[in-house]
Amino acid sequence: MTARHTLEAAGLSLGYGDHGVIEGLELTVPDGAITAIVGANACGKSTLLRSMSRLLAPRAGHVLLDGKEVHRMPAKALARTLGLLPQSPIAPEGITVSDLVGRGRNPHQRAFARWSRGDDEAVAAALEATDTLELAELAVDELSGGQRQRVWIAMALAQQTELLLLDEPTTFLDVAHQVEVLDLLVDLNRERGTTILMVLHDLNLAARYADHLVALADGRVHSAGAPDDVLTVDTVRTVFGLESRIIADPTSGRPLMLPIGRHRTTTGETSAADAGAH
């Protein structure tokens, strides 16, 4: 089992230039669980994740890891505990898959220390877990978008941190690989106890795979808790401006959101009773 950690935002305000994005946000990431942040475009999901990983300094408030401000911690020390897969990362030109994944071991390298057997094993395990072992000798810039995304996830896994933050980890992936990646994250959480905080665009995948949902709206936490408590008709209406029905997913038993548009609905689907269900 991994060591236990607390990661929280206290009175956090974030923005870019004169544009404020997050105001006075309070958030505690459940230890040892999978948390998904959801919300409409431009609501601050990625901005929040960037600050939680110390890439963006707060205008006010704090991000605390085990009670210490992450923005005051040495970068390498933080990277041994907390890993980040940002949105649309850029690989050095010509770098091979194995070399890129190996960079996930950098936080564990001491000055002048030699590459160890443990480093080799961590890289090999990460490549195998993400089904990228056969790509190891290829240049990253030769890969498809989906292959490249899996390689970046492999690098994050090779870092072997106890907290892992991922910004849209299923970007560029087809449905089968989306499920594979999320299954992999569940395995990582169950087998290693890794705390995972991720931004997901797909509400239904978030509800299926996360233990804890955080819905953002207008720069604040609209609701947070178990998927059954957060993914409701009211939340979808308020956060996304969309009418919906919520049913039990016949596969997972988790809540499943069915959007209601102006077309392709059966008679009665958009009734007030249906819109207010759940």
Tell me: do 69 and 125 sit in the same domain: no
Q: Assign 197 to helix, strand or coil.
A: strand
In-domain check, residue 272: no
**Do 141 and 250 share a domain, yes or no?**
no
Domain boundary, last residue among 160, 175, 199: 160
pLDDT digits (tens, 9 = 90+) for 81-127: 999 998 888 899 999 999 999 998 887 666 556 767 888 899 999 99
Q: Give the chain's mean pLDDT.
A: 89
In tens, the pLDDT along 23-36 reads 999 999 999 999 99
Final residue of a structural domain among 160, 181, 202? 160
In DSSP notation, 101-159 reads: HHGGGGGGPPTTPPP-HHHHHHHHHHHHHTT-GGGTTSBGGGS-HHHHHHHHHHHHHHT
- Within 13 Å and on the Cβ side, how many CA atoms surround 25? 37
**Residue 264 maps to a domain:** no
59 burial (CB, 10 Å; 0-12 / 13-18 / 19+) is middle
Domain count, the chain: 2
β-strand partners of 195 = 163
Same domain as 107, residue 236 = no
pLDDT at 244: 96
Question: pLDDT digit string (tens) for 200-214?
Answer: 999 999 999 999 999
Helix, coil or strand: residue 52: helix
Residue 229 lies inside a defined structural domain of this protein? yes
What is the chain's alpha carbon radius of gyration, rounded to the nearest angstrom? 20
Asked if residue 170 and residue 75 are part of one domain, the reply reads yes
Q: Which of 110, 144, 160 is the last residue of a domain?
A: 160
Residue with tokens 């890993």: 83
Tell whether the model's pLDDT for residue 149 goes beyond 90.
Answer: no
Question: What is the reported pLDDT for 268?
Answer: 52
